[in-house]
Amino acid sequence: MSDISVMTDASIGEEKLTFDNSAVSKILGVQDSTLRKYCTLMQKYHYKFAKNSVGHRIFYNKDVDVLKKIVDLKKSSSLTLEEVVKVILESNIDDTNDISDIATILTSDYSKILEGFSTFTKEQTEFNKHLIEQLQKQEIYIKNSIEARDQKLMLLIKESMEVKRQIVDAITEVKNKDMGKHKKAWWQFWK
């Protein structure tokens, strides 16, 4: 089978050139495996390729032009392959040689992303400020609670010690009274 063949569309009487994998990879200057990867990504974004009777891809001129745009944009930009394929397939650019239109689309997409990120940053900053305020309030509450608890504890300890001292004094007083009643002079012990 040759790399390039001519198909005639009987319904409109128009002849179209078709290419196989090896011819397209030579035209684009890429390996067959790279071409397969590009085609798989294109199909992921719902691009349809024609197939021959055994199920292999057939490339028409329009397919080759789209693949050329992908290869050119990939070489001229810092985008990932998936981003390039997405941009090319989602754009409605008719001029296959004008990549500046694609760059304009990319710039507007980046502007939208940057604007969204800026909004997110502002919201996140406000949230962080609110969170810091809550943490400070919580810290003050905890500090005040601990101080109040310590004061109550010290008061209870002092009251407890005072009660114990009063009990000891009372016991001592009772013992002294009891001792006073039964206290005899030393000479009275034998009586």
Q: What is the mean pLDDT of residues 25-29?
A: 89
Query: Pick from 50, 66, 67: which is nearest to 9 by CA?
Result: 50
Angle between helix axes 21-28 and 61-76 (nearest 10 degrees) is 40
Checking if the pLDDT of 42 tops 70, the result is: yes
Checking if the pLDDT of 184 tops 80, the result is: no
Q: Is 131 helix (H, G, I), strand (E, B) or coil?
A: helix
pLDDT per position as a tens digit, 129-149: 999 999 999 999 999 999 999
Query: Pick from 42, 35, 9, 37: which is nearest to 20 by CA?
Result: 35
pLDDT per position as a tens digit, 12-24: 444 577 888 888 8
Helix (H) / strand (E) containing 57: strand 57-60
Q: CB of 44 within 8 A of CB of 81?
A: no
> What pLDDT was estimated at residue 179?
65
Per-residue 3-state assignment (H helix, E strand, C coil) for 4-31 = EEEEEECCCCEEEEEECHHHHHHHHCCC
Q: Kindly indicate the confidence band of residue 96, based on its pLDDT and cuts at 50, 70 and 90.
A: very low
